[in-house]
Amino acid sequence: MKRILFMPFLQMSSGHHQVVNGIIDSLQEINDLFECEKIDILSYSYGNVERFISKFYLKWIYLFPNFYSWLYKKSAYKNEYEAKRFYFYEWLFLYWMEKLIKEKNPQLIICTHALPSYLLNHLKQKGSISVPVINVYTDYFINQIWGMECIDYHFVPTKEIKEVLIERGVKSDHILVTGIPIHPRYKEQDKVLHQKDKFSILISGGNLGIGLIKTFVETLQPSGKINYTVLCGENNKLYNWIKQLNNPFINAVPYISSKEEMNNLYDRVDAIITKPGGVTISECLFKRIPIFIYHELPGQEEINLQNLKKWGLVYHLECWRDTPNFEEKILKVLHCDKLQKLLNQQLNTYHQHLSKEKVSLFIEKLLAENNIGK
């Protein structure tokens, strides 16, 4: 058996966990020789404290978004090329991380969050551990917390992020442009937006119950030219509220657990309106679905949006709260051949730079080349 330890952070539903789940399922499609385990270092170290931290984190973003945004950028992104020590994290977690590695004795560690990557990088620098580590980045930028010098491989979302890592001293052949890894059940499609009288648009971003999705739907003035499907996830309050609207052009969909069903839903829509969360954006880029951004959470999503706009991969619905009938702006974009051609060019460039080697096959080859698990 080949033991792989996956390390996201916190246990709440997030892109870090979605990426882990997708990679695990991809590996298990190859063969059953992979023994995969997912562990959150906070839960491992301090037990039920993790639940409190998760709730506090969500409340903090909801109640004090500007403060969270300022603190995140100051502590983790202000000088993105500068190596930085986080002594508090080391004091809290280094002992537990070393204990975990000795206990589990993994043959490969895959980090989808910066904190475990930072801790493992530090332990490798000290010579306390030698196990190979892969960073899998789940945003469209790299913050200062990620471990770098002693990390063996890096799975990055775009060629631009690869260039950032090279500037920070990482060898080019240790970087794989994978996109943010998505579940293997999602299948490629040649999404060509045809001009039509009525479009179908997906609205996403309400799973955790934070953000402005309810306000956005309240502001909609459907003309009948667009049918909206709102993905509510586990947000039952949002689902029930939309159902009570009884609007023929706004349909609510509860949590979808089946990736095949979600893939089929993506195939049926002409565009998506969402937040700039890493995994959702990666899925839509893979499916070549035009992306409209209506809102971004403070911190990570703000920086994601900034970069995605710079690379020409999304449309930003700015000032929608102050614009009567902003649906017309959406329709203008969908009807504009010039804008659609430009988007297709940017998507082609994005896809051209993605590695042709699947993440799961690369991991299998890495373990085989190092005679790991034999």
Question: How many Å apart are CA 156 and CA 314, to the nearest integer?
Answer: 19
Residue where the block lists tokens 């010039």: 338
Tens-place pLDDT, residues 259-286: 999 999 999 999 999 999 999 999 999 9
Tell me what pLDDT residue 195 has.
62
Tell me what pLDDT residue 206 has.
59
Residue where the block lists tokens 């893979």: 286
Q: What six digits make up the tokens of 21?
A: 């789940």
Residue 182: how many CB atoms within 10 A of its CB? 24
Q: For the domain covering 199-352, report its CATH number.
A: 3.40.50.2000
Question: How many Å apart are CA 43 and CA 80, to the nearest integer?
Answer: 28
Domain with CATH 3.40.50.2000 in the chain: 199-352
Tens-place pLDDT, residues 18-72: 999 999 999 999 888 899 999 999 999 998 888 888 777 777 777 778 888 888 8
HSE of 120 in the Cβ direction (CA atoms, 13 Å)? 31
Domain 2-179+354-369, architecture per CATH: 3-Layer(aba) Sandwich (3.40)
Tens-place pLDDT, residues 235-246: 888 999 999 999
User: The dihedral of CA 167, 173, 177, 178: what is its sign?
Assistant: negative
Q: What is the mean pLDDT of residues 248-261?
A: 92
Residue 96: how many CB atoms within 10 A of its CB? 15
Tens-place pLDDT, residues 321-335: 887 778 998 999 999
